[in-house]
Structure 1
Amino acid sequence: MVDTGFSSFDVMVDKANHVLKEIEHAYGWPKDRRKQSYAALRAVLHPVRDRLTVEECVQFGAQLPTLLRGVYYDGWKPSEAPLKMSKEEFFARVRENFPYAIEGGTEQLARTVLKALQQYVSSGEWEDLKAIFPASLVAILPQP
């Protein structure tokens, strides 16, 4: 547990670290690869965010741990939402923003990141995303 001297901040940091550790654990990455797990999180969250309507983007973002919410919204342009992307375009964006080798491919990376977030996002919200995402991308969303 982190000790910032302010318990609310400690909880925020711990939740963010927990998600990053879940990603690292799934790939067997050591803690010294934290930049890599952060890059994976960011590379997946941004195309998810951009694919959603403004309303759905906000509903999904509201459920993320506070620090991760900042990562999610960083650089967001609501006036450009939603950005229609094919499955290939979606994964190309993930790949473009993840500058490391990907064991199992880009689709597996997206699944891993979203699964790490599953405990913080309600099953109803995942169902909402399934209704919005094209059928070709629904497979990357966690199953309840």
Structure 2
Amino acid sequence: MAETGYSSFNTTVDKTNHLLKQIEQAYGWPKERRNQSYAALRAVLHALRDRLTVEEAAQLGAQLPMLVRGIYYEGWNPTDVPVKMDREEFLARVRKEFPYAVKGGAEHLIETVLNALRIYVTEGEWDDIKSSMPKELAEVLP
């Protein structure tokens, strides 16, 4: 457990480390590759956030742990969204922001990251997100 001296900060650091550890375990990465699990989380969150409407992006962000929410909103400009992306453009966006080769490619990476996030996001919110996407892109989301 991380000790920051403030219980809310300790909790969010622990939740974030748990998410990153789930991504690392899915790929068999040692903790020393934490920069890769962080890059995976960031790339998927940013691509998803930018594809959503402002309202949907805010609803998803509200459910994320505090530290992950900061990663999610980093660099966000709500006047520039939603960015219309089809399936291939979405995958290309994730590949661009995640410059590492991974088993299963970008689709598996997206699935791995979003499955790790599922414990924090309600089923109803996932349904809303998927229903707001074109069918071919919604199929990429678990």
- Residue in structure 1 matched with residue 87 of structure 2 by the alignment: 87
Q: Distance in 1 between matches of 2:134 and 2:71?
A: 24
Give CA-to-partner distance per residue, 1:87-113, whole Å, 9 cap, x none. Answer: 110000100011111111111000100
Structure 1 residue 11 displacement after superposition: 0.2
Taking the TM superposition and a 5 Å limit, the aligned residue runs for 1:73-112 are: 73-112=73-112
Query: What is the alpha-carbon distance in structure 2 between the residues aligned to residue 89 and residue 79 of structure 1?
Result: 20
Deviation at 1:136, TM superposition (A): 1.1
Which residue is equivalent to 2:5? Answer: 5
SS in 2 for 1:119: coil
Native 8 Å contact 1:16 1:67 kept in 2: yes
> What SS does structure 2 have at the residue aligned with 1:67?
helix
Give me the identity figure in percent.
Answer: 63
Deviant stretches of 4+, over 2 Å? 139-142
Q: Does 2:26 align with 1:39? A: no
Which residue of structure 2 lines up, in the alignment, with residue 58 of structure 1? 58
What is the alpha-carbon root mean square deviation over aligned residues? 0.8
Report the counterpart of residue 124 of structure 2 in structure 1: 124
2 CA distance for matches of 1:8 and 1:42?
22
Q: Give the Cα separation in 2 of the matches to 1:86 and 1:78.
A: 20
Choose 111-120 or 131-140, whichever is displaced more: 131-140
2:67 aligned partner, one-letter code:
L
Distance of 1:133 and 1:90 partners within structure 2:
11
Kindly indicate whether the alpha-carbon contact (under 8 Å) linking 2:87 and 2:140 is maintained by their aligned counterparts in 1: no
Query: Could you say which residue in structure 1 is the equivalent of 2:28?
Result: 28
Q: Distance in 1 between matches of 2:71 and 2:102?
A: 21
Q: Shift of the alpha carbon at 1:141?
A: 2.5
CA-to-aligned-CA distance 1:121-143 (integer Å, 9 cap, x gap): 0000000011101111222323x
Count of residue pairs the alignment pairs up = 142
Instruction: Describe the SS at the equivalent of 1:120.
Output: coil
Q: 2 CA distance for matches of 1:75 and 1:117?
A: 20
Tell me, yes or no, if the aligned pair for 1:115 and 1:141 is still in contact at 8 Å: no
Q: TM-score, normalised by structure 1?
A: 0.96
Gaps of 5+ in 1: none
TM-score (norm 2): 0.97
Provide the residue aligned with 1:136 in structure 2.
136
